[in-house]
Structure 1
Amino acid sequence: MSQNHKIPKRSELKPEDTWSTEDLYPSDEAWKEAFAAAKEEAEKLTGYRGRLAESGRLLYHYFQEKESAEEAVERLYTYASLKSDEDTKNSVYQGMKGQILSWLVQWQQEMAFETPELIALPEERLEEFFQAEPALSLYRRYLTVIRRRKSHILSQPEEELLAAAGEMADAPDRIYGNFVNADLTFPSVRDVAGNLLPLTNGSYGTLMLSQDRALREEAFRNLYSTYEKFKNTTAATLNAHVRQNIFFARARKYNSCLEAALDRTEVPVSVYHQLIQAVHENMEPMYRYMAFRKKQMQLDELHMYDLYVPMVGDAEEKIPFDRARDEVVEAMGVLGEEYQSVLKSSFEQRWMDIYENEGKRSGAYSCGAKVHPFVLLNHKDTLNSEFTLVHEMGHAMHSYLSNKNQPAVYADYVIFVAEVASTCNEALLMNYLLQRTEDKKQRAYLLNYFLEQFRTTLYRQTMFAEFEEKIHRLAEEGETLTADVLKKLYYELNLLYYGKDMVVDEEIAIEWARVPHFYYNFYVYQYSTGFAAAIALSRKIIAEGQPAVENYLRFLKSGCSEDPISLLKMAGVDMTTAEPVEKALQYFSELLAEFEELMA
């Protein structure tokens, strides 16, 4: 599909450029029939209420039936969610997604008996169950993880009440998503030739890469002035999200929302604070990078809309999807034949939805369905889109390998390790491209892009993490998160992270309103920790070869069979120390030195 200024309708896309949702269900009617059957199967599980302590055999059969029901429900939700994201203006699929979500809340409420009953089991009684029913040992870690949180689990009626509140708790995220993806529109912009270009959340990133500075500035001001008009609405929505986090954290007797969020994935709170501290102590390379950008671009003032444009002129290439696909497949050869073969077949089996269309959800993601992963893209024929592809396919391959090698109960990896596989793929692709680039200008262009990955991931996502931690702390102390409070805090963080050589434009103070990850409950810090871990692992793979590859693939195949810190240690990196972050920032400084030399 060639790049043009017109965003096509969904019906105008080629089938081969869209994901194969028919692998889930051949039609909407089939989905509806499966939904009715799944509800019947799932609701049978309520017959186990009050009986989980009867015997090891009964408990084992309960887990088996529950897995079957959950797989059916996950398939239903995946289909409705994917179809909804294809066109967020399509009320049919919005309705289907709402229907499954509403029922899920009801089912979770009915299933709220499980955790209190499992926690109430005496340790000696549980050990008797394992002895009497050896097959139950499959669920030993699952039971250990649940019982570990005993002090945060409430009585059965209270658990049912919290489950019933789930649909209301999801409301801020749903409202925000519909507002940003379906309702919000932006004024178009004109390029230097006078062409009128559409401005969307999806196209904004591409416009920020343009060498046309007037175009970048217009896009920047048009985007953020639009968000500014709705600042009170978006602030109230974010405030509501934070408030529900506080409600659930306090209901479960946690000291803070941060502690509650990290406890779910067995990550110490110290890891979060350690990340922010390590970045604060290594701001100098970032400031040096900003000063060099200002000098290289020959600007009297470096503005926020100057941050993304490549500093290397006349080196940007158009990278059609077919070329990006082929380079990604070849670059991943370093991970072995099995990995590369599955990756290649994923394109043939249409795991991904490639191009933007009217109403399509912006951004990119990977959904690790059991049948096979599904990947949403909005490909723009740029280097950035190529790296988005390899990033999301890292997630997809992680899901595929975990699903293939782990029983269902341990197939889903936790979010703390989620960004490791994706970012390791990015680092390996960069190494592949640099190795095959003899032209100095092209090498400088690639280094510029890699340095931007450090800036936007290790520094910027840490800034996001700091913002998220601060707004929760303010709310926990009783402050209302008004637009003015949020803007002031966000603006001050930009001043800290970019330094004196950057003009921090006032418009950037509203940027928090366009970051959907602030509704993911302390997710963003894992981009930074994952990036640091991935840089360490990719350098091991390149330097050590097969032994490092085997450890890494073992990690990808392990799902959540161990806690995330142990899984990363197995792969070869210890995230309980500041060393991975510090070494990654040291590597950033080394790359910057090479870039400065090349540009000289």
Structure 2
Amino acid sequence: MEAVWKRSEVPAGYRWRLEDLFADQAAWDRQYDEVKRLLGDIGRLEGKLKDAEAIRQCFELEDELSLRTEQLYVYASNRHNENTADPVFQALLDKAKKLAVEANGAMSFITPDILELPEEQLEALLNEPSLIRYRKTLTDMLRQKPHILSKPEEALLARVGNVSQAPGTIFGMLNNADMKFPLVQNEDGAKVELTHGRYIQFLESRDRDVRKGAFEAMYATYGKLRNTLAATLGANVTKNQFYAKARKYGSALEASLYDDKIPVSVYDSLISTIHESLPLLHRYMNLRKKLLNVDELHMYDLFAPLVDEYKMDIAYEEAKQTVLASIRPLGDEYGAIFAQGLDGGWIDVYENEGKRNGAYCSGAYGTHPFVLLNHKDNLSSMFTLSHEMGHALHSYLSDAVQDYRNAQYTIFLAEVASTLNEALLMDDLLRRATDPQQKMYLLCYYADKFRTTVFRQTMFAEFERLIYSKAEQGESLTHEDLCRIYYDLNVQYHGPAMTVDRDIEMEWARIPHFYRSFYVFKYATGFSAATSFAKQILDEGAPAVERYLGFLQSGGSDYSIEILKRAGVDMSSPEPIRQAMSVFEDLLGQMERMTS
């Protein structure tokens, strides 16, 4: 295995072009100073929001201030993630975070000021022609009125922002910068350093000893910090409970779903609907055990390839062309934008020393999106490229049609476009597969997508619901509690065919999404919605494509469930999840027939 590149060694063609956001540090500094000036301008409007014209001016200034602050943050965050150990960009990100908190504080008077107006005037503002582009904002304010505090209280909550970021920041520094993993043995028998980026690669090894060694080394490392990591996650839970109570919500879960008008029942329904389908996952574990030909199926076998005779090595340039070809059903315009993104400085491709692990898409209105990858030459990385570019195209098309305030789609919608791209890629690969071994490999890979994106993320969501419920009842969240809850869920989800290794009880400690609380369930709902969209697009063609592109262009201009309903997917019912499960069942049937 080759040594990890230093940042300076990564070829320019495989680095994103953050200069498209700020040409240099001096440009960032000038905008920082401009935002500082705008903070004073918006502060002078406090107490003066008495009519439609004053409110319009305030909203326009709020948009300018928010966008410029967001641009500063995106640049600093992405620079930091290029090399999390670089103190220059650690400091820049810290500066951007503090400015964001200051900006939120400066703008915190807006909603309380407007909500002080008489009820009749507030209702009249909804039909004011000069405020038509802000109608959803005003509607949201009226919905949120029971949860908005007095101006001094709102300002105090805004100032607490820096403190509230601490659990996530501390976890990020521990996980990405300070945590060092031991040497483990690779398939050639050589000792190499375990990293976040290499971990999944080791788990995908055909050599069971390599998988077991990496698995045990990973969780032994986290286990040494179990008290600190439990305290950090516990602090994040406490933070969310504090905000929920301060704003008079029934729970932290209700608070997290309220802004987007998603009932708690949607979250609970996902878990109960997946519980109905756990026999399918148990059936898949039995099939995996049979295909691997092992006496006991262990947790470190979950990513092992099931088709030993077939190996797909896919270089990045080939992955680009394959993904581009797969999205042809979405039309020429979508394809042209996609191609522009692949070669237009949107993507940071390869792992380098200190680079943030994983993959994401980020950006700010007014510039193209930025995609961070840690690409390996395998099928999984090709799907990650497809996935993150789905996010990028969603943002690009939303920004192109919506104004700034209505462009940002919600997290509930965020995983739909990314997962739909993956579904189209899989359909294309399966249709073109002529080798039975390749087809079996792809079927196994797709089945694993269901396992990881629907079942696994729902298990994460249930873990969150359980630990928050425990905390809300005043019970402890020690590392023993977290480990026990997490271990028991693994036993329940994976079923009797799985030997659940005790090491897995520490996995909660390495999941960054737990610091974006109640986020992971949206992967499962998004996957289900995408499954439904993909079926419609492949079955109907142009009419379904038009509905889907309308969805992408809607941004956050309406509530998420309504946007999806208009495009033909009703997530307020369990049906899209059951539809996804029927697709999973069909995959299992095909796999079982090919191995009987």
TM-based fold match above 0.5 = yes
2:429 corresponding residue in structure 1: 433
Please list the CA deviations of residues 14-67 of structure 1 after superposition, one character each: whole Å capped at 9, or x if unmatched: 1111000001112122211221122212331111101112x2112111111221
Worse-matched range after superposition: 187-196 or 82-91: 187-196
How many Å separate the matches in 1 of 2:59 and 2:304? 53
Q: Output the CA distance in 1 between the equivalents of 2:506 and 2:2.
A: 27
Offset at residue 128 of structure 1 (A): 4.6
- 1:590 counterpart (564, 586, 589): 586
Q: CA deviation at 1:295?
A: 1.1
Paired residue secondary structure (2:488):
helix
Contact 1:118 1:147 in 2 (8 A): no
1:471 alignment counterpart: 467
8 A contact 2:401–2:553 mirrored in 1: yes
Alignment of 1:119-268 (within 5 A): 119-129=115-125, 134-268=129-263
Displacement of 1:455 in angstroms is 0.3
Q: Distance in 1 between matches of 2:555 and 2:485?
A: 37
Helix, strand or coil: the match of 1:48? coil
- Alignment partners' CA distance in 2, 1:130 and 1:311: 58
Q: CA deviation at 1:115?
A: 1.1
Which of 466, 479, 496 is the matching residue for 1:500?
496
Which residue of the partner structure matches residue 547 of structure 1? 543
State yes or no: 1:47 paired with 2:44: yes
Q: 1:25 pairs with 19, 22, 26, which one?
A: 22
Question: Aligned letter for 1:47?
Answer: R
CA contact (8 A) 2:212 2:300 kept: yes
Contact 1:413 1:560 in 2 (8 A): yes
Partner deviation per Cα, 1:356-410 (whole Å, 9 max, x = no partner): 0000000000003220100000000110000011001111110111111001110
Q: Residue 31 of structure 2 aligns with which residue?
A: 34
Aligned amino acid, residue 36 of structure 2: K
Q: For residue 384 of structure 2, what is the aligned residue in structure 1?
A: 388
Indicate yes or no: 2:408 matched with 1:406. Answer: no
Matched residue of 2:581: which SS? helix
For 2:23 and 2:459, the matched residues in 1 are separated by: 44
Aligned to 2:450: 454
SS across alignment from 1:284: helix
Moved more, 81-90 or 108-117: 108-117
Deviation at 1:572, TM superposition (A): 1.0
- d(CA) in 2 for partners of 1:140, 1:117: 17
Deviation of the 1:192 alpha carbon? 3.7
* Equivalent residues of 2:360, 2:373 under 8 A apart: yes
Q: Residue type of the partner of 2:257?
A: L
1:538 matched to 2:531? no
Contact 2:186-2:202 at 8 Å conserved across structures: no
* Equivalent residue for 1:12, pick from 1, 9, 15: 9
Match of 2:563 in 1: 567
Structure 2: runs of 5+ lacking an equivalent: none
Identify unmatched segments of 5+ residues in structure 1: none
Mapped contact 1:375–1:393 kept (Cα < 8 A):
yes
What SS is found at the alignment partner of 1:149? helix
Q: Is the Cα–Cα contact under 8 Å of residues 43 and 107 in structure 1 kept in the other structure?
A: no
Q: CA contact under 8 A between 2:289 and 2:497: conserved in structure 1?
A: yes
- In structure 1, C-alpha distance between the alignment counterparts of 2:321 and 2:376, rounded to whole Å: 16
Q: Which residue of 1 aligns with 2:56?
A: 60
What amino acid is the match of 1:415? I
Deviation at 1:127, TM superposition (A): 4.9
| Displacement after TM superposition at 1:496 (Å) | 0.3
Alignment-mate amino acid for residue 108 of structure 1: N
Aligned twin of 1:486: 482
1:323 matched to which residue of 2? 318
Kindly provide the amino acid, as one letter, of the partner of residue 463 in structure 1: M
For the residues of structure 2 that align with 1:414 and 1:42, how far apart are their CA atoms?
Answer: 26
